[in-house]
Structure 1
Amino acid sequence: MREFAEDERPRERLLRHGPEVLSDAELVAIVLGSGLAGENVVDLARRVLDQSGGLAGLVRADARSLRRFRGLGSAKAAQLAAAVELGRRVQRLAPDDRPHLGSPEAVYGYVAGRFIGRTKEELLVLALDARGRLLGAPATIAGTVLTVSVRPAEVFREAVVLEATGVILVHNHPSGDPTPSPDDIRVTKELAAAGRLLGIDLVDHVIVGLNRYVSMRRDGIALR
């Protein structure tokens, strides 16, 4: 990854800020490790994703089919196939191994520690199966400010890939007051409508403050 300034390299950005802030191409680039002459590793990763049909296509590929891409020899194809298989195995964990998020209390208990000390708003998207159990890892939209519209494509992207039947949104109010703002209510209504078009239920939107929270579903705010 010598083509990048040190603070722009995907690996260093992951170590500094966490994997949530990286794009799909940057995460794939870390798995691949290096690019080609005239094509840096992020561009290589982006090309592989584009030609695979995105993450949804990539997860259906095996090591042999990955080798058809220019720049993916046996080693890189095996690394990528191994990473994809680990993701599959996480999704196949027995239901008892995955958190059941069937109540606002369960959601708050699962996420509350994540927001301790955060000074900026962060939106989590929890994808659920039909029984209310978490699928995969929470998707994070870092630095989200709900005074502007959140793109439905960002919110529902992982849920579509995971074939989720529902999602729960969680975001924090660094002020400590979890009372929903007018923008929180507006954005929640917009995302609920977008979810209906995709066949994915917006189960709840939980707002976390200082040692307390609000469930918009339970309180009949925007979600009924």
Structure 2
Amino acid sequence: MTKKHQTIKEIPALERPYEKCEIYGPGHLSDAELLAVVLRNGTKDKTAVELSREIFALHPYYQGLLGICHLSIEELRKISGIGNVKAIQILCIVELSKRLAATKAEKKLSFHSPKSIADYYMEGMRHLNREEMILIFFNGKNKVIKELKVSVGTVNQTVASPRELFVEAL
């Protein structure tokens, strides 16, 4: 009987994700190796790195890191070796990355600049499957008072009447 893959212990120490990270830093890890560190272990048939590559290939359109943003817990659990805990860990890492990007944009946020507003909302909205319209209320000093989702539309459009917007504002 021949083995299908190497176990993590059979991989040279400098090629293992944990050891590689410890010696060279996380910037030297591939995307699959970074995810493998989060997953911690694979299965009897796959290393954590191989499992990570399978996750990256799961989405039919978006591949790699971008694909993870478009996966649900149910889709992740279809992969042998991914249960509830690992699926939730993966989705929490995605959410942390979105919040990190939003926090970075928030520091530069100025409601006098359309680009800074776009940067602030982009990370949270770029991976949505449907268009959403958000109404932002701010005071005379350009400080946000309230944000309100007023419409969720289709893949490429959303509709809200001016009346709805004024009712909310008043």
In structure 2, runs of 5+ residues without a counterpart are 1-7, 121-125, 128-170
C-alpha contact 1:3 1:40 (8 A) present in aligned 2:
no
* Shift, 1:82, TM fit: 1.2
Residues 1:89 and 1:2: Cα distance change in structure 2 (over 3 Å) = same
Query: Partner residue of 2:100?
Result: 90
User: What RMSD, in angstroms, separates the aligned Cα atoms of the two structures?
Assistant: 3.0
User: Given the alignment of the two structures, is residue 58 of structure 1 paired with residue 65 of structure 2, yes or no?
Assistant: no
Bigger radius of gyration, 1 or 2? 2
2:94 and 2:66 map into 1 onto residues whose CA distance is 11
TM normalised by structure 1 equals: 0.42
SS, match of residue 58 in structure 2: helix
Query: Partner residue of 1:20?
Result: 27
Structure number with greater CO (CA < 8 Å, separation at least 6) is: 1
* Shift, 1:98, TM fit: 5.2
Residue correspondence of structure 1 range 205-216 to structure 2 within 5 A:
none
Residues 1:6 and 1:90: Cα distance change in structure 2 (over 3 Å) = same
1:10 and 1:44 map into 2 onto residues whose CA distance is 13
User: Given the alignment of the two structures, is residue 37 of structure 1 paired with residue 47 of structure 2, yes or no?
Assistant: no
2:11 and 2:34 map into 1 onto residues whose CA distance is 15
The structure with the largest helix share of the pair is: 2
Percent of residue pairs identical: 32
TM normalised by structure 2 equals: 0.54
2:10 and 2:107 map into 1 onto residues whose CA distance is 41
User: Number of residue pairs matched?
Assistant: 109
SS, match of residue 103 in structure 2: coil
Which residue identity does 2:99 align to in structure 1?
A: R
In structure 1, runs of 5+ residues without a counterpart are 100-128, 136-160, 163-224
